[in-house]
């Protein structure tokens, strides 16, 4: 019987190899409805050592497993196919995948600029060496644990990884044209300007060769610069020569020329086609917002919040106005608390603008006009390249413009860092880039890249000590936040803290109901601001020059005396004075005296209907000045402001201030300030007060006992307390 059982076992084993595995072999495996075509033994590397394409030997696509996945994909770009050998779609797509791999693997990325007719597939000038781009496959049957870890739910799935990090899932057409179009976009992003302008003509599936010089039947019409690609290739060739002795491929650097442009995103569906605010839940939020590039304006709210209820109709109207322009959504934090917690929502309502997985909080007013103004600016926040003439036109409408100067040596890393800044600048200022020599001459630019802000034509430069400083997002943004206000902005609820706190604020209280007077007053404020800044710059330069002269005198004196110790000390002196630390800053602003009437009347006692006024406010010390040294009110006049301001900012002020708070409140404020600025002395005083209080309380009982019925004080020979008898019946003289 044993031979019979053995025969049956062999027959069953053979049947298991011949029949497809049932769909339930992997609990999470399913065939995607949108997946087409599939897998072949050649792509799996079964029994195939090499294939031939255009007469060149091509190694099999690398098969990745749990053991080698992380170590393989941790460097470079990897496009990986996750498949099942039993999946019909996988089997159909396999020859396409193999052919597209062979086509690109044997391609010449330098387009004939190599020394030989055919590229050396093992050199840094090969496709893999030049782009650092690799193909891979994962068999989800033999490496089920790896596919579970990568959360693969359908076959075939094509994922892109960069330096070990997941980038995105391929969702295009699974045919030769779809694969090639996707690859061309990615390669163009890695090496801007290196891909053919018309695109490439891909072979048919299963082909063993193609004409490398053939052009596609339909041009891709891509925004590419062949000259930039040629220059990038030549530069890469130089690096390849240096690495010729090394067997390993050189990781290419990304070089962008002056024509580098941000890859144009694919046109997706029309945003907000119905003009409504979409209710989002965690699943739809992740799909539509987190994992997408389309911008979204989203409100986080709870139904019981009064402010949320008040915002509701305005939000719906704004969504209607944004029909076909911007996606608008809302999240109920009572129904989805975890999503709101992950979004760092701490108050209701909270409004975020999302784009490409990044976000910025909207902190402006919640009127319909304010929301529409913000969203309009958000949709027009990309970094545009401008000429000198275009920049001059912008200056007529924009008060604050950040300008990024670049040249042919500026890298793609610099441009990527620049693009990150746009989100934070929405609603504050415009940012543009230029390589126009006229612009460079106007602002005296001699090093690139360079960043400056132009406020009413007055430039202020970001001081970068190294190229890395230009890519330091937080450092650059911190500088931008310090200068993105106009020279004379309007004081609003959103910018009040930035303008008032930590600065003297020259505040013009103006009346919009009188347009001519209003415009004239604004012009006077702006002229005063420009003249004050010029004077402060001159004083700062004079002070710095005096410090330099003093240092030079010390050096010369030490040299004359041949005192090496004094010479070293003099040379080691560091002039650390900066323009920001030279003197407490002064900000200029204006406020609508009619709109803020109650606040102005209660804080400063000013009624704009009696005439426009100017005050100099010191919010840190709760004080202000509204009179000149002659006792007259400060008015919106350049002369009146500039005559009074130096007397106010001097230390101590030469004019008597007024308080913005009451007497009792001022005492509490002064005590708090004393503790803030003199913490050690405050602790000493507090300890002393506690000791005195403790001593008084400890000796209080003795004093009481001493003055009681059993004690007495003798005065002028009379008994009793102050001459009274012991029985209290005596009479004092």
Shared-domain flag, residues 325 and 281: yes
CA–CA separation, 668 and 662 (whole Å): 10
Predicted pLDDT of residue 144: 83
With respect to residue 12, please indicate whether it lies within any of the assigned structural domains: no
Least trusted range by pLDDT, from 96-100, 280-284, 550-554, 574-578: 574-578
CB 462 within 8 A of CB 484: no
Predicted pLDDT of residue 679: 75
Predicted pLDDT of residue 201: 81
CATH number for position 154: 3.40.30.10
Q: With 90 as the cut, is the pLDDT of residue 633 above it?
A: yes
Shared-domain flag, residues 285 and 316: yes
Least trusted range by pLDDT, from 107-116, 341-350, 521-530, 716-725: 716-725
Predicted pLDDT of residue 666: 63
CB 629 within 8 A of CB 647: yes
Tally of domains in the chain: 5
Predicted pLDDT of residue 260: 44
Per residue in 34-91, pLDDT (tens digit) is 333 333 333 333 445 688 888 888 889 889 998 889 888 988 899 999 998 888 888 8
- What would the two tokens of residue 215 be? 């052009």
Predicted pLDDT of residue 336: 92
CA–CA separation, 626 and 659 (whole Å): 11
CA–CA separation, 22 and 19 (whole Å): 9
Q: With 50 as the cut, is the pLDDT of residue 424 above it?
A: yes
Q: What is the mean pLDDT of the chain?
A: 79
CA of residue 423 relative to chain centroid, distance: 6
Shared-domain flag, residues 373 and 424: no
CA of residue 77 relative to chain centroid, distance: 25
Predicted pLDDT of residue 402: 94
Q: Which domain holds residue 449?
A: 384-484
Shared-domain flag, residues 596 and 451: no
Q: Which of 321, 355, 379 is the last residue of a domain?
A: 379
Among candidate residues 389, 386, 416, the one with its CA nearest the CA of residue 402: 386
Taking residues 106-110, report their average pLDDT: 78
With respect to residue 262, please indicate whether it lies within any of the assigned structural domains: no
Taking residues 465-477, report their average pLDDT: 85
Taking residues 553-564, report their average pLDDT: 90
Q: Which of 379, 404, 424 is the last residue of a domain?
A: 379
Per residue in 364-420, pLDDT (tens digit) is 888 888 899 999 988 888 899 999 999 999 988 888 999 999 988 888 888 888 888
With respect to residue 20, please indicate whether it lies within any of the assigned structural domains: no
Shared-domain flag, residues 435 and 320: no
Predicted pLDDT of residue 660: 83
With respect to residue 577, please indicate whether it lies within any of the assigned structural domains: yes
- What would the two tokens of residue 135 be? 């193909």
Residue 236 pLDDT class (50, 70, 90 cuts):
very low
87, 90, 140, 308: the active-site residue: 308
CB 78 within 8 A of CB 72: yes
CA–CA separation, 530 and 487 (whole Å): 8
With respect to residue 673, please indicate whether it lies within any of the assigned structural domains: no
Beta strands in 40-127 (DSSP E): 51-53, 56-58, 62-63, 77-83
Residue bearing the bigger pLDDT, 318 or 87: 318
Cross-strand pairs, 400 = 455
Predicted pLDDT of residue 582: 63
Q: With 80 as the cut, is the pLDDT of residue 662 above it?
A: no
CB 190 within 8 A of CB 254: yes
With respect to residue 68, please indicate whether it lies within any of the assigned structural domains: yes
Shared-domain flag, residues 422 and 537: no
Residue 703 pLDDT class (50, 70, 90 cuts):
low
Q: What percent of the chain has pLDDT over 90?
A: 28
Shared-domain flag, residues 350 and 416: no
Residue bearing the bigger pLDDT, 325 or 25: 325
Residue-level length of the chain? 733
Predicted pLDDT of residue 476: 92
Cross-strand pairs, 358 = 355
CA–CA separation, 98 and 39 (whole Å): 9
Predicted pLDDT of residue 354: 92
CA–CA separation, 551 and 557 (whole Å): 10
The C-alpha angle with vertex 329 and arms to 323 and 333, in degrees rounded to 5, equals 160
b/e string for 64-76 if b means 16 or more Cβ within 10 A? beeeebeebbeeb
With respect to residue 266, please indicate whether it lies within any of the assigned structural domains: no
Residue bearing the bigger pLDDT, 69 or 679: 69
Shared-domain flag, residues 512 and 364: no
CA–CA separation, 334 and 338 (whole Å): 9
With respect to residue 626, please indicate whether it lies within any of the assigned structural domains: yes
Shared-domain flag, residues 393 and 513: no
Sheet holding 613-618, edge to edge: 586-592, 504-510, 613-618, 623-625, 658-659
State yes or no: is 87 an active-site residue: no
Shared-domain flag, residues 567 and 687: no
Q: Which of 194, 226, 242 is the last residue of a domain?
A: 242
Residue 506 pLDDT class (50, 70, 90 cuts):
very high
CA–CA separation, 243 and 129 (whole Å): 11
Beta strands in 532-681 (DSSP E): 586-592, 613-618, 623-625, 658-659
CB 488 within 8 A of CB 523: no
State yes or no: is 90 an active-site residue: no
**CB count in 10 Å sphere of residue 153:** 13
Shared-domain flag, residues 371 and 471: no
Q: With 60 as the cut, is the pLDDT of residue 112 above it?
A: no
Shared-domain flag, residues 430 and 474: yes
Among candidate residues 134, 150, 156, the one with its CA nearest the CA of residue 65: 150
């Amino acid at each position: 019987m044993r031979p019979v059982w053995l025969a049956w076992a062999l027959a069953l084993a053979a049947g298991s190899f011949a029949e497809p595995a049932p769909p339930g072999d992997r609990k999470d495996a399913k065939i995607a409805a949108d997946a087409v075509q599939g897998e072949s033994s050649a792509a799996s590397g079964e029994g195939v050592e090499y294939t031939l394409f255009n007469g060149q030997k091509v190694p099999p696509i690398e098969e990745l497993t749990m053991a080698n996945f992380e170590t393989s994909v941790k460097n470079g770009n990897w496009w990986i196919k996750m498949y099942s050998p039993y999946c019909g779609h996988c089997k159909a797509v396999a020859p396409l995948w193999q052919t597209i791999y062979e086509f690109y693997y044997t391609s010449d990325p330098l387009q004939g600029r190599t020394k030989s007719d055919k590229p050396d597939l093992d050199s840094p000038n090969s496709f893999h060496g030049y782009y650092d781009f690799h193909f891979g496959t994962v068999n989800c049957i033999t490496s089920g644990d790896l596919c579970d870890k990568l959360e693969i739910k359908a076959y075939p799935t094509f994922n892109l990884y960069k330096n070990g990090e997941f980038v995105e899932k391929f969702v295009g057409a699974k045919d030769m044209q779809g694969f090639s179009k996707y690859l061309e976009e990615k390669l163009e992003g890695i090496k801007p300007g290196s891909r053919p302008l018309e695109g490439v003509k891909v072979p048919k599936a299963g082909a063993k060769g193609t004409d490398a010089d053939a052009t596609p039947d339909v041009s891709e019409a891509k925004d590419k610069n062949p000259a930039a690609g040629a220059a990038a290739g030549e530069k890469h060739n130089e690096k390849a020569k240096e690495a010729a002795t090394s067997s390993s491929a050189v990781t290419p650097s990304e070089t962008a020329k002056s024509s580098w442009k941000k890859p144009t995103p694919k046109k997706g569906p029309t945003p907000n086609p119905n003009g409504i605010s979409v209710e989002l839940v965690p699943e739809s939020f992740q799909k539509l917002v987190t994992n997408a590039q389309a911008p979204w304006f989203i409100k986080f709210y709870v139904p019981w919040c009064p402010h949320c209820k008040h915002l509701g109709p305005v939000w719906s109207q704004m969504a209607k106005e944004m029909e076909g322009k911007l996606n608008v959504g809302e999240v109920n934090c009572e129904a989805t608390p975890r999503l709101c917690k992950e979004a760092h929502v701490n108050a209701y309502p909270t409004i975020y603008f999302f784009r490409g997985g990044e976000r910025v909080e909207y902190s402006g007013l919640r009127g319909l006009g304010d929301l529409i103004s913000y969203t309009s600016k958000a949709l027009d926040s990309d970094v545009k390249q401008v000429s000198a003439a275009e920049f001059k036109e912008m200056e007529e409408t924009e008060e604050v413009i950040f300008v990024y100067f670049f040249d042919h040596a500026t890298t793609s890393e610099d441009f990527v860092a620049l693009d990150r800044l746009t989100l934070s600048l929405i609603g504050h200022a415009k940012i543009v880039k230029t390589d126009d020599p006229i612009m460079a001459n106007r602002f005296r630019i001699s090093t690139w890249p360079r960043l400056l802000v132009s406020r009413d034509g007055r430039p202020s430069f970001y001081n970068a000590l190294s190229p890395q400083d230009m890519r330091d997002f937080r450092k650059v943004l911190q500088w931008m936040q310090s200068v993105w206000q106009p020279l004379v902005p309007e004081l609003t609820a959103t910018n009040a803290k930035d303008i008032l706190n930590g600065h003297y604020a020259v505040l013009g209280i103006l009346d919009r109901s009188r347009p001519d007077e209003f415009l004239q007053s604004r012009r006077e404020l702006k002229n005063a601001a420009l003249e004050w800044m010029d004077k402060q710059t001159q004083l700062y330069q004079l002070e710095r020059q005096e410090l330099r002269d003093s240092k030079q005198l010390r050096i010369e004196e030490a040299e004359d005396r041949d005192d090496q110790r004094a010479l070293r000390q003099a040379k080691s002196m560091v002039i650390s004075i900066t323009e920001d630390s030279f003197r407490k800053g002064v900000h200029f602003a204006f406020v609508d005296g009619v709109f803020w009437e109650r606040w102005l009347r209660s804080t400063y006692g000013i009624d704009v209907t009696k005439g426009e006024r100017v005050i100099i406010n010191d919010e840190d010390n709760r004080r202000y000045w509204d009179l000149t040294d002659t006792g007259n009110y400060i008015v919106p006049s350049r002369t009146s402001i500039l005559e009074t301001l130096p007397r106010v900012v001097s230390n101590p002020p030469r004019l008597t201030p007024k308080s913005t708070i009451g007497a009792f409140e001022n005492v509490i404020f002064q005590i708090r300030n004393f503790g803030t600025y003199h913490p050690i002395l405050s602790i000493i005083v507090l300890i002393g007060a506690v000791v005195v209080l403790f001593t008084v309380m400890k000796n209080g009982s003795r004093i009481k006992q001493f003055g009681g019925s059993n004690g007495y004080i003798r005065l002028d020979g009379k008994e009793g307390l102050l001459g009274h008898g012991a029985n209290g019946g005596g009479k004092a003289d």
